[in-house]
Amino acid sequence: MKAQHQSTIESLPLVGRGKVRDMYAVGDDKLLIVASDRISAFDVILDDPVPGKGRVLTALTEFWLGRLAHIVPNHATGIAPEDVVAPHERDQVAGRAMVVKRLEPILVEAVARGYLIGSGWKDYQATGAVCGIALPAGLRQAQRLPRPIFTPAAKAEFGQHDENVDFDYVVAQVGGELATELRRVTLALYQEAAEYARACGILIADTKFEFGLDAAGRLHLMDEVLTPDSSRFWPEDGYAEGISPPSFDKQYVRDWLETQDWDKTPPAPRLPAEVLQRTAAKYAEALERLTGRVP
């Protein structure tokens, strides 16, 4: 499968490029979002794309948007991406793009955690709390929490790390009513998805959601949803407390980069073919386990 590092759609105005996604305007009220095969590590976009990664991200997002639509509206329009680009550009969007509603983004990362790992584990070790939420003493790395918690983060500038914040920060940003709804919806989405995934042999340790408001002020789920890029997916049969379990994401890439003489600033080392292939296989396995689909 040929990898796509960047789309080059000329029939629509380019709005911007993120770490993975390219966005184009479709009229005044919609966007075309194309998921490339780019991969980033340590906030650096790597030169070597992972074949098929964008298709996996798109397929998983579409799956979850459909499955969770009863909880909160989302940005999907159902319009085929091939119908909004020029005929010779259709191969760039097939299977890896969505036409979505253009929303006003809420500039807070809505994070749900069911297990104590990553920055949450570091915060807990330092303070006994995560994002201002006090947790029982004596918890271990990767331990399942008594109940899922809402642990928001402030969006950082491109290339910087998001910063964990408390609920009061969200209230100050968006108001008490919307902050409370964000927390409720985030936890409802996580809990339903986590139950489903566990039945497929995958533990969702944590995940981040993006939300936006439509012209009427209604909350919508947007961007990617419950993918290996936005979540920690652990194989249930590889899970244990006290360690950082293996995951369905760019673990092989990060692990390999850690062995290199690299200061984590651009340019990154070029990735060997074996690392790319193993990473692509983990993304594909997550899709197949959760949806039964093969990229």
Residues 201-256: tens digit of each pLDDT: 999 999 999 999 999 999 999 999 999 999 999 999 999 999 999 998 888 898 89
Q: What is the pTM of this model?
A: 0.94
d(C-alpha 226, C-alpha 239), whole Å: 19
DSSP-assigned letter for residue 236: G
Specify the pLDDT at position 43.
84
What's the chain's average pLDDT? 95
Distances (CA, A) of 102 to 27, 205, 221, 248, 269: 10, 30, 12, 30, 36
Cis peptide before 267, with omega less than 30 degrees from 0?
yes
Rounded CA gap, 181 and 166, in Å? 15
Distance CA 283, CA 287 (A): 7
Reported as a single tens digit per residue, the pLDDT across 69-123 is 999 999 999 999 999 999 999 999 999 999 999 999 999 999 999 999 999 999 9
Q: Right CATH number for 105-238 from 3.30.470.20, 3.30.2130.10, 3.40.640.10, 3.90.870.10?
A: 3.30.470.20
CA dist 293 and 91 (Å) reads 20
The reply to whether CATH 3.30.200.20 applies to domain 1-102 is yes
Tokens of 40: 């980033």
- Residue ranges of the chain assigned to CATH 3.30.200.20: 1-102
Grade residue 1 by pLDDT with cuts at 50, 70 and 90: low
Give me the mean pLDDT over the 150-164 stretch. Answer: 78
What is the amino acid identity at position 100? V
Percent of the chain with pLDDT over 70: 98
**120 and 192 in contact (C-beta within 8 Å)?**
no
Listed in order, the ranges of the chain carrying CATH 3.30.470.20 are 105-238
For residues 260-279, give the mean pLDDT: 95
**Distance between CA 221 and CA 209 in Å, rounded?**
7
The pLDDT value recorded for residue 160 is 58
